[in-house]
Homo-oligomer: A and B are copies of this chain.
Amino acid sequence: MFDLAEAVAVLERTPGAVRGLLAGLPAAWTSADEGPKTFSAFDNVGHLIHGERADWIARAQIMLAQGENRRFEPYDRFAQYRESAGKSLAQLLDEFAELRAANLVTLRGWQLDARRLRLEGEHPAFGRVTLAQLLAAWVVHDLGHIAQISRVMAKRYREDVGPWREYLPILDRGPS
């Protein structure tokens, strides 16, 4: 199923989708979360930025280099609490778009073929993974965070919808 051009088609749209959803919204929407250690919409954007800086491309580079040590650095899921401090959502949306665009230039520059998509690295939790799996996970991770942003925001109105709650399952999905 995985196809590099199709994967890139999603990856390049994520910053625009997130911007369309969030830019200019009242802070009541973008700062709401689902409880302790869960992400607000604002936190989700910071988390996506951290992934651009520290995760996807950095891990792909380890796989492509095929050095002695192919073990990835563990990923810090809470880095954005620190890194986003003092920034506005508008700044984060710009930063995400710029980093993503630059990372896709890097990815395209590699001109990956089927052989290199099978190169392996070592994930700190679940061991051997391929470059194709990493890129597929990048796509799914984007889509998962768009869904998460939508869910976190929706839950502000969990009580306000009254009996419609029964028809709106997003209101009763747990945080993830």
Contact, CB under 8 Å: B10 / A153: yes
> What residues of chain A have their CB less than 8 Å away from a CB belonging to chain B?
1-3, 5-6, 9-10, 13-14, 16-26, 28-29, 123, 126-127, 129-130, 132-134, 136-137, 139-141, 143-144, 146-147, 150-151, 153-154, 156-157, 159-164, 166-171, 173, 176
Counting chain B CB atoms within 10 Å of each CB, which of A2, A129, A130, A160 scores highest? A160
- Report the minimal beta-carbon distance from A102 to chain B, rounded to whole angstroms: 19
CA distance A24 to B151 in the complex (A): 25
CA distance A43 to B28 in the complex (A): 31
- Which among B29, B151, B157, B161 is the interface contact of A9 at CB below 8 angstroms? B29
- Which among B5, B17, B21, B147 is the interface contact of A151 at CB below 8 angstroms? B147
